[in-house]
Structure 1
Amino acid sequence: MSPQASSPPPEANQLRWEQRADGPACVLAVGTANPANCIPQDEYADWYFRVTKSDHLAHLKDAMKKACKFGTHTFRFF
């Protein structure tokens, strides 16, 4: 293999450099988001089926409650 085959062409390197953030935007992207809605994991299935008007699907609701119970997350954010 030639050395050129493993490295990207020069115009790709230039394009990558031009798209890179430099300055305040780069620093702002590091922050964390604080979502307005936070639902505890154990209440999520009830909330989801109520919001989507799917309360009549009890078998799916039970399966989702079981999945939420064994999940590692304690809250749902959106």
Structure 2
Amino acid sequence: MIGIDLHLKLLNLSPFVNRVMIYMQGCFAGGTTLRSAKDLAENNCGACVLIVCPEMMSMYFHGPIRMDPESLVVPALFGDGAATVVIGADPMSTERGLNQLFRACQSIVPNSMHALKGPIHEAGMAIMMSKKILEFLAGCVWDCLSHAL
């Protein structure tokens, strides 16, 4: 699969560098990628893991769908963006990062199966959020923080 990683040629990385692509996962990809990069760096002596996360919400933007006018809410709230970070785990390295990634974890919010949905229509994929999404999040913040810390 040709991916965005092929556009990183400006970095002059070896064509033999191991790559992992996580596509079409939205915000979920950020947590998954941090957790995976931490595991890769800690389990491969001297490894540095480059994370590049582009988010292209504009590809979900299209005219309103008659049956689902709320399909315009998510593209209106969230926009395109990108972030990058290098993760390493060598305690003997002379390089010192700005931050330490102590732990990376994810959680499933109970009863949230329908909080976000992405049905495919004639205009493409539409991302829709439940009006109760804030209730779902508010109800699990304490448990998620307790687990993480």
TM over 0.5: no
Structure with greater Cα Rg: 1
Please identify which structure carries the higher strand content: 2
**TM (normalized to structure 2)?**
0.17
Please identify which structure carries the higher helix content: 1
Higher RCO, 1 vs 2 (CA within 8 Å, ≥6 residues apart): 1
